[in-house]
Structure 1
Amino acid sequence: MSETTAATDPGPLTAARASRGVLAPGPLLRLEGLALLATAVVVYGQLDASWWLFAGLLLVPDVGLAGYLAGPRVGAATYNLTHTVVLPLALGAWALAAGTSTALAVAVIWLAHLGMDRAVGYGLKYRTAAADTHLQRVA
């Protein structure tokens, strides 16, 4: 391969090159987070629930950060438990089946929090450090 070809050849598709652009995984995951937040806010508006409740509970899932007082392994576990969509979706399904509007409102607020976190780049944590998240590894 000549020097001219080597200088213009982009080379193999590396993870760094593949992650550039709007359609790369990192930006798409943040866009999904924004969509989840927006949808949760619209749904919450349809519930006719108190916006004071929304404001008061929006940051409650961050109590999962308290686990970091016991170290990164426990902290990652507690944070991830409160920051995965599985629990709020289960709560929402139960609330719909039981006809419990307050539990449904809490589930939607919880989903809004998760969407907000993902939109600004906060992801699920690895045991290595609080700053080591799944969104950083795909960004």
Structure 2
Amino acid sequence: MSTIVLLRLEAALIAVLALVSYGMWGLSWWLFALLVLAPDLSMLGYFKGPRIGAVCYNAFHVYFVALAISFLGWWSESQVVLSIGIIWVFHIAIDRTLGYGLKFQTSFQDTHLGRIGRN
């Protein structure tokens, strides 16, 4: 099995765990629906070119920030902050499952999981 397939399977498992956690915490599904695509607003950076676009996109598509927010929400007992963090983790995991990895500065289609879109 290739490394890319393993990374995508790992991301699928993370997405499932995020959904299960979200449900177990009894968090708002309305908020989930409202925010699940919010990290993709970072793609607006591509209007300034592929270098700025990649930096913006990658800043909002790394697990570290989303997990830190999730932890902060859990620690502070804030359901809203916890929701935002878990939704964010889920979003990243689904993106990676679908092959939308972290972007290289050459173009939006060049990712750490391979090239996306038409060749």
Task: Give TM-score, length-normalised by structure 2.
Answer: 0.93
Q: Which runs of 5+ in 1 are unaligned?
A: 1-22
Where does residue 55 of structure 1 map in the other structure?
33
* Letter paired with 2:24: Q
1:20-70 CA-partner distances (Å, limit 9, x unpaired): xxx210110110110011000000001111111111111000011000011
Paired residues in the alignment total 115
Matched, 1:110 2:88: yes
Is 1:29 the counterpart of 2:7? The answer is yes
Aligned-pair Cα RMSD in Å: 1.0
Task: Name which of 78, 81, 89 aligns with 2:56.
Answer: 78
What does 1:1-139 correspond to in 2, within 5 Å? 23-136=1-114
TM-score normalised to structure 1 length:
0.80
Query: In 2, distance between residues paired with 1:109 and 1:24?
Result: 28
Percent identical across equivalent pairs? Answer: 42
Q: Deviations over 1:85-113 (max 9, x none)?
A: 01111111211221111100110000000
- Counterparts of 2:109 and 2:98, CA distance in 1: 13
CA positional deviation for 1:120 = 0.7
Look up the match of 1:7: none
Letter in 1 for 2:111: T
Counterpart of 2:113 in 1: which secondary structure?
helix
- Give the aligned residue type for 2:90: A
Q: Following superposition, which runs of at least 4 residues in structure 1 exceed 6 angstroms of deviation?
A: none
Unmatched 5+ stretches in structure 2: none
CA distance in 2, matches of 1:54, 1:92: 14
